[in-house]
Structure 1
Amino acid sequence: MRARPMTPDAVVHHLVQEIGARPAGRLRVAVDGHPGAEPGTLADALVDPLRAAGRPVARVHAHDFLRPASVRLQHGRGDPDSYFETWVDHGALAREVLDPLGPDGDGRYLPTLWDPERDRATRAAYQHAPDNAVLILDGALLLGRWLDFDLTVHLALRPDSRARRTPPHEAWTLPAYERYSAEAQPEETADIVVRVDDPRRPALVVER
């Protein structure tokens, strides 16, 4: 594996270029990574440059598609297998976001589904994405789920970096990320991999 050091701004520029080089039409982009890799921060940074390039953006967070607490926590609050398998409603994410923004979709998507703080539906209104819109979806454990993306970006962390960036009260989730690395192999399967062990000096993986 060989990686090319870049600045955070250069990573954003590279991804915007990659998106711009894709065929015309709606594009579904996943920015995947452990919360300590801050996939949401990178996803947010893509929005303005894409809009400046003339691409409307639909910005969605996987965290807004969690299942109800009764489902997520049926095996307790510290079960890593439940965290890996059932916390995010991948079926709803496909049905309400990815399929409508796919090549055969009508562009009518749901930006949020569930409020985990209040543990109830957000009752958000459907929105419409134009034909040339880019969906930017951030989240963790997104790959290997049979979700239809057109471009996948994985923010990679070494196990020690993952552990260091996980708050003590969330350390129980770490086995889920070990399982994810073993089963989904995101560093092998993502279209673009960026190593972010040092967030100030990310590195684009150019050979795998």
Structure 2
Amino acid sequence: MDQGTRGELISRLTEAIRSVTTPHPLRVAIDGAPASGKTTLADELAVVLRAQDRDVIRASIDDFLVPRAQRYRRGQYSAEGCYFDAHDHAALCRVLLDPLGPGGNRRFQTAVYDAETDTPSSQPTTTAPTDAVLLFDGVFLLRPELIDQWDLRIFVSVPFEQTIDRARHRGAALASSTADIERSWRHRYIPSQQLYFTTARPTDHADIIVYNDQLQRPTWEVRPPALGSFVRQIRYPAGGAP
């Protein structure tokens, strides 16, 4: 377990990404609960990798939602609905993860859904360079349907109560209702994460866990070989495995 500054964390993660070798674009999952900081982390990594002349593809599970009527068919505050009904995993694999994976043609799309209009999204197809990096953030990324689609798996861990505090703060900036935020987190998002942990055990499959409760002094853990896939493909830098 290591602790350091935010910059040290980003440096360590970019080093890990550079160290993984695949014959196709590298597919990095950045998983975590809502308001854990996974999107911010993915954006930070993208900035650094692009500055190092790496071609980066940024995408999010939010662009692979299903239509609202299907998402909420069990009710707006259903935890089971959040976990089982919210995302189009088949489309995610079809248009993004499979094309970038082994044997893929590298022709991909980063979205199939527009949340603002609640309609399908039609994006042009792009061809990725062989050495591109996909930084994909979202919830439930290490579930059985997706677990083998990633070449590097990062899990961002934050206590659930702290995610509520962050959501309230974010909601205040957007003039959202504090009561609605509280209800959504306590009845939908947190219980769905608890269901995820019970059924999929995501931290058992993570290659790297980032403990993100202290944003400027995070702690991180690179998992040992028996617990993660990271060491199957990584070439550790000088000094050996952490």
TM-score bracket for this pair, using the shorter chain length: over 0.9
Instruction: Please show how residues 69-108 of structure 1 align to structure 2 within 5 Å.
Output: 69-108=68-107
Q: Secondary structure at the match of 1:103?
A: coil
- Give the distance between the partners of 1:183 and 1:23, measured in 2 at CA: 30
Deviations 1:127-173 (A, max 9, x none): 11111101110001111233200001000122433444443142222
Count, aligned residues: 206
Instruction: Please show how residues 10-49 of structure 1 align to structure 2 within 5 Å.
Output: 10-25=8-23, 26-49=25-48
Runs of 5+ in structure 1 lacking a partner? none
2:131 matches 1:115: no
TM-score normalised over the length of structure 1: 0.92
- Give the distance between the partners of 2:120 and 2:192, measured in 1 at CA: 26
User: What residue number does 1:189 align with?
Assistant: 205
- Give the distance between the partners of 1:92 and 1:118, measured in 2 at CA: 19
Higher RCO (Cα < 8 Å, 6 or more apart): 1
| 1:48 Cα deviation after fit | 2.3
Runs of 5+ in structure 2 lacking a partner? 168-180, 225-242
Aligned partners of 2:212 and 2:218 also within 8 Å: yes
Residue type of the alignment partner of 1:190: A
* Misfit runs of 4+, over 4 Å: none
Q: Secondary structure at the match of 1:204?
A: strand
- Give the distance between the partners of 1:177 and 1:95, measured in 2 at CA: 25
| 1:24 Cα deviation after fit | 4.6
User: What residue number does 1:150 align with?
Assistant: 151
Instruction: Please show how residues 63-74 of structure 1 align to structure 2 within 5 Å.
Output: 63-74=62-73
Aligned partners of 2:60 and 2:138 also within 8 Å: yes
TM-score normalised over the length of structure 2: 0.80
| 1:67 Cα deviation after fit | 0.5
| 1:207 Cα deviation after fit | 6.2
Q: Percent identity?
A: 33
User: What residue number does 1:176 align with?
Assistant: 192
- Give the distance between the partners of 1:48 and 1:162, measured in 2 at CA: 25
Decide which structure has greater helix share: 2
User: What residue number does 1:58 align with?
Assistant: 57
| 1:33 Cα deviation after fit | 0.9
Q: Secondary structure at the match of 1:44?
A: helix
| 1:11 Cα deviation after fit | 1.3
Q: Which entry has the higher C-alpha Rg, 1 or 2?
A: 2
- The structure-2 alpha-carbon separation of the partners of 1:207 and 1:89, relative to structure 1 and needing over 3 Å to count, comes to closer
1:9 to 4, 7, 10: 7
- Give the distance between the partners of 2:192 and 2:51, measured in 1 at CA: 38
- Give the distance between the partners of 1:158 and 1:146, measured in 2 at CA: 25
